[in-house]
Structure formats: C-alpha cells, structure tokens
Amino acid sequence: MRDVSLDSKVQYLVTWMRERAEEAGAKGGVFGVSGGVDSALVLALAKRAWPENCLGLVMPCHSLPEDVEDALYVLREFSCPYRLIDLSPVYDGLVASLPDQREDSELALANIKPRLRMITLYYYANLMNYIVVGTGNKAELHVGYFTKYGDGGVDILPLGDLTKREVRELAKYLGVPERIVERVPSAGLWRGQTDEGEMRITYRDLDAYLSGEAIPPEVKERIDERHRRSEHKRRLPPVARLDVLYEEE
C-alpha cells in the first residue's frame, strides 16, 4: 500500500468533516475534550475545518482534577472556544433515584457518565446548529471499546479509520503538546482505570492486528472475541420485519 503523507491525511480529514457538516445543514462541530490524545486530535482537526464554528466541551463527572486540567490546557493551546460543565450533580441525582444497585453495579453506573456527556453534546449541537464529532479510533471501534449511546452516540467519526499509532502521529504533526500525546489512555471512568487494563489488550497489539501483522494467538483470539461480542454496538437496532409472515401465507 502506498504511503500517504501526514499533510494529505490532515487535508482529507478536514475536508471530509466540513463536507459532512454541510450535508447535514450544520455550520460547525461540537466535541468532548477529555485531556487525552484522541479528543485533542479531533480538536486540532475541528479548528481547521471550522475555525470560527467549533466548540469543545469539558464535562467532568467525578473526574480526576488532572484530566480536567489537561483538557483545558489543550483547548487553550489551540485557542478553541469551550464550556466547562460539571455533570457530577446530575449523575448523583440520577444514581440516587435508581433502585436495584448491587456490589457489581460499578460498570453499569460508570456507563451513565458517557451517556450524560452525549446528552450534553447534543444539547449544544441543537442549540448552535453543529454536528457532534466523535473521538473514537479504529482500534476502539473494532473491539467495541465505547459506551453504546454514550461516546458512541455521535454524528461523525473522523478518527474511525486511524490506529492509535496513527492518531499519535497526526496529533504530534498538528502540534498537540507532548504531555497529551503520551498520556496513558483512559476513559476516566474511575481512579486507576486505563483503556488497556480494562480491555486486557494493548494498543500496540491492536494496531498490529489491524495492520495485518502477526500477534500472539491468544491475543488475536481475545480481539476476535471482543469484536464478535460488540457487533451490536456498530449496527443500528434490528427491526422485526413482518413481511416474512406475509410471504409464508
């Protein structure tokens, strides 16, 4: 496969983002900024696609202070308009009203956070006539490492065909600060949580797998299993078609 320059990738993605907004009759884009490299790259691309019509949202929900600090840092580095919206009180109020909580409810409760962020993103998208720009990359999409109707609830995914390695390369090229590029990937769902720890797969192995390189058989099996189990996340909800009943008569 022919190598494509980083500049060509940037130009393509910026044009693609702009075209998708135009197709939707929108004038710009809104996106969440977490302090990680994926959202920082989306921010850098969005500033090129819509210099005067993009908005970053920092949405802590019992988040670590350093996550918020890094998110604000990268927003200021790129002179991007933003809103800081603390979703902790909303989360607390919702959780307090939920019955049937158990000792093993940690993941179910954690997934409320990205779903509250999705609601907030679409509020601003509706308010400003923007589209919601997702931050998921190729590796995360392949194994379903995103919350259904949470960070998976977006209008476009400009990073969806980029491995984690490619995300870091483009981020460096576009001037994302080193401390953001080299951060340990984490969804920030709870203290000490990391992407690789939760998946039990490294991004290095995922990138190698997606690039057709050899990886240990047990890792390949783990990736394939996660891909199969998360297929429902990558599809629209199935519809029960009644036409089969008429065909049988």
Catalytic residues: 38, 140
Sign of the C-alpha dihedral, residues 178, 13, 128, 109?
Answer: negative
Strands 28-32 and 82-84: unpaired
Phi and psi dihedrals of 24, rounded to 5?
Answer: -85, 0
Cα gap 20→15, rounded to integer Å: 9
- Quick one: which of 222, 205, 225 has its CA closest to 213? 205
Decide: helix, strand or coil at residue 162.
coil
Q: Which DSSP string corresponds to 183-197?
A: SPP---SSTT--HHH
Name the DSSP letter for residue 237: P
Strand partners, 84: 58
Phi and psi dihedrals of 32, rounded to 5?
Answer: -85, 145
